[in-house]
């Protein structure tokens, strides 16, 4: 079953589920860095989720913005 009818016509079935999951989870995250360490809470973590079933390559881009102190 497809959430959007046009997805079934433009994207192979196995890929459409990956696109829907990615839309629900999100594709980027902003994480503060304090004193050179990730400022996550005690029970927080960073997870990389891959929803595509087929083998492929992927690039992860990290952009760090800040001020000199």
What 3-state class would DSSP assign to 31?
A: coil
The domain locations on the chain are 1-69
Write the DSSP symbol of residue 36: T
Give the whole-angstrom CA distance, residue 61 versus residue 49. 15
Both ends of the chain: CA-CA distance in Å? 54
pLDDT in tens, 9-68: 555 566 778 778 888 888 788 888 888 888 888 998 888 888 777 788 888 888 888 777
Both tokens of residue 20?
Answer: 């829907």
């Amino acid at each position: 079953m497809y959430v959007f009818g046009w997805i079934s016509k433009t994207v192979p079935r196995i890929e459409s589920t990956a696109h829907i999951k990615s839309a629900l989870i999100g594709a980027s995250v902003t994480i503060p860095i304090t004193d050179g360490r990730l400022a996550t809470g005690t029970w927080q973590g960073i997870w990389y989720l891959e929803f595509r079933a087929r083998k492929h390559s992927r690039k992860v881009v990290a952009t760090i913005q800040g001020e000199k102190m």
